[in-house]
Structure formats: C-alpha cells, structure tokens
Amino acid sequence: MASQDDTLRQLMLAAQAGDRQAYQRLLRECQLWLTRYFSRRIPPSQIDDLVQETLISVHRKRATFDGARAFLPWLAAIARYRWIDHLRRVYRAAETGLDEALQAAPQDDSMISCLSIDALLLQIPERQAEVIRLVKIAGYSIAEAAERTGQSESLVKVNIHRGIRRMSALIEDV
Amino acid sequence: MDTKPPATAQPGEDDRFIDTLIGDLQPIRRLKPGQGLALALLVAVACGVAISAWLGIRGDLANGAPHAMFVLRSAVLLALGIGAATAVLAAASPGIGVRRPGWWRWALGVAMLFPAGALLTWLVTIDTAAQAISILDPRYGLECLRMSALCALAVGGAMVLWLRRGAAVDPVSAGWLVGLAAGSLGAAAYSVACSENVVLYIGTWYTIALAGCTIAGRLIVPALLRW
C-alpha cells in the first residue's frame, strides 16, 4: 500500500506536468494537512487565511519540489516559513502600535498568536528566554539587556543565539 | 499512480479558491540546482574572459606553465565557490530534515590556511611597516579588491536571480552563502590576471575580498530572497 507521502508525491509530480485532477486532489489534501498543522500554532480565526496564503505559496513554488524526495517535508518547510512570516507580522504590528484593532482589543487573536511564541519561550532555559524577550521582542540593545539581566554582553549574544536555535528545533519537532 | 479518491477530502466554501489555483495550473519545469550552478560558473567564466581581455592574462599562465601558488589559489577558490554555491542553490528546494551539501566547510577550512599563512608571515618575517607595505602593494591590492568585487557582483547577481525562482526558507543563511560563493568565484575569475604569488599578499587581499563579499551577501541578499 502506498504511503500518504508517496501518494502526495505522485500527485505533485502529475500536477507539475499539468494534471488538473491530480492537482485538485493534492490541494485538498494539503488544505487539510495545513489546517491541522496551523491549528496547533495560531488562533482558529486566522487559520483559514494562513492556509490560503500557504496554498498560494505551494502553487507559486511548486517548481521547487524535487520528485526524488518526500513531499511532506517540502510542504512542512513552506508551511513553517509562512507561519514564521505570519508571527513576524503579528509582532511587528504589536510593537509599532499601528494595528488599531490590536490596541482596542488587547485580547484578540493577534495577542493569542503572540502566545505561540511565549509557549516556545517557556520551553527553553530561562536565561535564554529572558534575553530573547528583552532584545528580540522588547527591542532593548545587547548592552541594556546585559545590564538588566546581569549577564555579560557576549553571554547575552550566545544565549540569544542558542535560544533561537532551540526554538527552531522545537518548531521542527512539532 | 494511486487514483482512489482521498478519504479526507471534503468540499466546502474554499472550493472557489482552490478552483482559481487549478485554473492557473500550467505544466512547469522543475527547478534543478545543477542549472543554477551552471549559470553561476558560466558567469564566472565570462568574467574571467572579460578580465583577461581587459587586464591581460598573467604571464606564467599565458606561457602554459602556471606557478604552483596560482594553481593552489585557484583550486581553493573554485572549490570554495562551487561548494558554497551548491549548498545555497540546493536550498532553493526546501524540505525539513533534508541534508544539504556541506563540503564547502572543508573548502573554507583549507582556504583559511591563506590568512593563517599571511598572519604567520607577518609575525615571523615582517619587521617594519615599510616592508609590509612593499609586499602588500596597496595600490595593486585595491585594484585586486575592486576587480574581484566586480566579478562577484556579476556572479552573485546571477545566483540571486536564479534563487528568486526558488523557495529559500532561510534567507539569512542563503545570504551568507551567496556572498561567499560569489566572492570566491569572482576572485577566481580575477585570479587569471593577478600576478601575485606571495602568501602575505594573497592571504590579506583575497581574504578581505572574500570576507567583504560574504558580509555584503548577508546584508543585501536576504531581502531579495524573501517570498
């Protein structure tokens, strides 16, 4: 029996050759997979938009799929890229204060998205999470973060680097 | 191919969206990293030819008896350039858990022998600033930098254009590698005109050229590769 990945891989190969029926099946399967993938990462009300954005990326970047490799790791890489891009936009909006809706309703979906990163920060050592919050989220300089945490500047840099690497690994493992 | 309908698929309000994507479907050619590498090498060769026509080929190479240092320098630059280019061009096709070609790190390790040799020369044999300046020949060295950077710009530009068709999911790493690959191949292209064979010179000016191109790649390329 062919595995799910093998079936999807075959569908993508057919889609790359222009087979619309195969492409329709592939997109529906991708849609379901992406909905599950994002449902653990962002608020429910944002899932549909992000799934659509990711499907557009799948469509635009379908030439980059290498038929000799598995399909789901390719899809997961694209989904993760779109998810991180989404979180970046949410944080940017929160930091700059340009998002009026966010200011008016601080407990809305955007804030829940931020919690996704907070959840990741809880899973790494506190000293790493602390400097990531200060430098990468609150916008403090390395020197200021060093002063606030009592860590040396080089240690702050090392902890940020290690913390982000751990968070990336956690994202990949999910 | 397995043609049974997917058990999990279900029609819904997203049908029109998916239909739009299906309506836009055209047969496409898969992106192959080998094509990107061929393009980068082709541009590097074109730069080498242009440099040769402009500045002239170094004498020993023109006579068919290249100096050992030239052979070593070119081999290291080409290995580093091809290694870094292979790694970054492979990253145009994303995949979580996929191993990327990493042998460029070995080439980088070998290339580091040049600046290490230059440093050793500085420490052991150079006594005065005038002596160092005489060997480094800043006027010629800056020309070397300028020409290498120009060639690197052409190679890097071609790589970026190709990579924009791909889906690099780590633009920052891609930026470092594009800079390193373009710098190495650009320096290799200029190398056919550079008559210097001294380790101090090569380890200083070529290292500056490569480091500068790599940093420029990190600063410029990521923004061009986001999608």
Q: Tell me, what CATH number does A54's domain have? A: 1.10.1740.10
A96 and A136 part of one domain? no
| Portion of chain B with pLDDT greater than 70, in percent | 94
What is the per-residue pLDDT across B71-122, written as a single tens digit (0 to 9) for each?
999 999 999 999 999 999 998 988 887 778 888 999 999 999 999 999 998 8
Look at A52 and B14 and tell me if their CB atoms are within 8 Å: yes
Closest CA of chain B from A27, distance in Å:
7
Taking the C-alpha atoms of residue B141 and residue B137, their distance in angstroms, rounded to an integer, is 6
Tokens of A52: 């659509």
* Residue B64 touches chain A, beta carbons under 8 Å: no
Taking the C-alpha atoms of residue B204 and residue A41, their distance in angstroms, rounded to an integer, is 49
Query: In the structure, what pLDDT confidence band is assigned to residue B218 with cuts at 50, 70 and 90?
Result: very high
A50 and A135 part of one domain? no
A-interface mutation test, from B4, B24, B96, most A Cβ less than 10 A away: B96
Torsion of CA A39, A45, A51, A57, to 10 degrees: -130
Q: Show the DSSP H helices in B56-170 as ranges.
A: 59-62, 68-90, 104-111, 113-125, 129-136, 138-163
**Per-residue pLDDT at A104 exceeds 80:** no
Average pLDDT over residues B36-57: 95
Look at B14 and A48 and tell me if their CB atoms are within 8 Å: yes
A75 and A145 part of one domain? no
A10 and A75 part of one domain? yes
Chain A residues with CB-CB distance to B92 below 8 A = 64
Domain contains A15:
yes
Look at A65 and B93 and tell me if their CB atoms are within 8 Å: yes
Domain contains A143:
yes
Tokens of B32: 């192959």
User: Among residues A69, A100, A131, which one ends one of the domains?
Assistant: A100
- Residues whose CB is less than 8 angstroms from the CB of residue A77 and which lie 6 or more positions away in sequence, other chains included: B94, B95, B96, B167, B169
pLDDT at A52: 93
- A97 φψ region: left (φ > 0), alpha (ψ -120 to 50), beta (else): left
**Per-residue pLDDT at B155 exceeds 50:** yes
A48 and A86 part of one domain? yes
pLDDT at A165: 76
pLDDT at A65: 93
Average pLDDT over residues B142-168: 95
Look at A63 and B29 and tell me if their CB atoms are within 8 Å: yes
Query: In the structure, what pLDDT confidence band is assigned to residue B12 with cuts at 50, 70 and 90?
Result: low
Query: In the structure, what pLDDT confidence band is assigned to residue A109 with cuts at 50, 70 and 90?
Result: very low
Domain contains A3:
yes
A92 and A152 part of one domain? no
Weakest mean pLDDT among A2-6, A151-155, A168-172, B127-131: A168-172
pLDDT at B158: 97
Residue with tokens 């994002």, as numbered in its chain: A38
**Per-residue pLDDT at A33 exceeds 50:** yes
A95 and A139 part of one domain? no
What is the per-residue pLDDT across B180-208, written as a single tens digit (0 to 9) for each?
999 999 999 999 999 889 898 999 999 99
Domain that holds residue A165: 122-174
Domain contains A80:
yes
CA angle A143, A145, A148 (to 5 degrees): 110
Tokens of B137: 């020949």
Look at B31 and A15 and tell me if their CB atoms are within 8 Å: no
Q: Which residue has the higher pLDDT, A99 or B220?
A: B220
Average pLDDT over residues A45-68: 92
* Residue A95 touches chain B, beta carbons under 8 Å: no
pLDDT at B48: 95
A84 and A143 part of one domain? no
pLDDT at A101: 44
pLDDT at B11: 53
User: What own/partner pairs with CB < 8 Å and gap ≥ 24 does A162-167 have?
Assistant: A162/A128, A163/A121, A163/A124, A163/A125, A163/A128, A163/A129, A163/A131, A163/A132, A164/A132, A164/A136, A166/A123, A166/A124, A166/A128, A167/A120, A167/A121, A167/A123, A167/A124, A167/A132
pLDDT at B15: 79
A89 and A4 part of one domain? yes
Closest CA of chain B from A104, distance in Å:
30
A16 and A90 part of one domain? yes
Whether the CB-CB separation of B62 and A43 falls below 8 Å is answered with no
Query: What is the H or E stretch that residue B53 is in?
Result: helix B33-55
pLDDT at A2: 56
A147 and A86 part of one domain? no
Look at B26 and A18 and tell me if their CB atoms are within 8 Å: yes
Q: Closest chain B residue to A84 measured between Cα atoms?
A: B169
pLDDT at A99: 44
Q: Show the DSSP H helices in A4-108 as ranges.
A: 4-16, 20-39, 44-60, 72-96, 100-104
Q: Closest chain A residue to B17 measured between Cα atoms?
A: A52
Q: Which residue has the higher pLDDT, A35 or B98?
A: A35
Weakest mean pLDDT among A20-24, A100-104, B143-147: A100-104
A26 and A94 part of one domain? yes
What's the predicted TM-score (pTM) here? 0.74
CATH number for the domain spanning A131: value is: 1.10.10.10
pLDDT at B36: 94
Chain B residues with CB-CB distance to A76 below 8 A = 95-96
Taking the C-alpha atoms of residue A165 and residue B172, their distance in angstroms, rounded to an integer, is 14
* Residue A136 touches chain B, beta carbons under 8 Å: no
* Residue B15 touches chain A, beta carbons under 8 Å: no
Look at A172 and B96 and tell me if their CB atoms are within 8 Å: yes
When divided into structural domains, chain A yields a total of 2
Domain contains A106:
no
Average pLDDT over residues A99-124: 56
Whether the CB-CB separation of B210 and B185 falls below 8 Å is answered with no
Whether the CB-CB separation of B184 and B80 falls below 8 Å is answered with yes
Domain contains A81:
yes
Which value does ipTM take for this structure?
Answer: 0.77
Average pLDDT over residues A107-115: 48
pLDDT at B187: 96
Domain contains A114:
no
**Per-residue pLDDT at A145 exceeds 70:** yes
B-interface mutation test, from A4, A10, A25, A27, most B Cβ less than 10 A away: A27
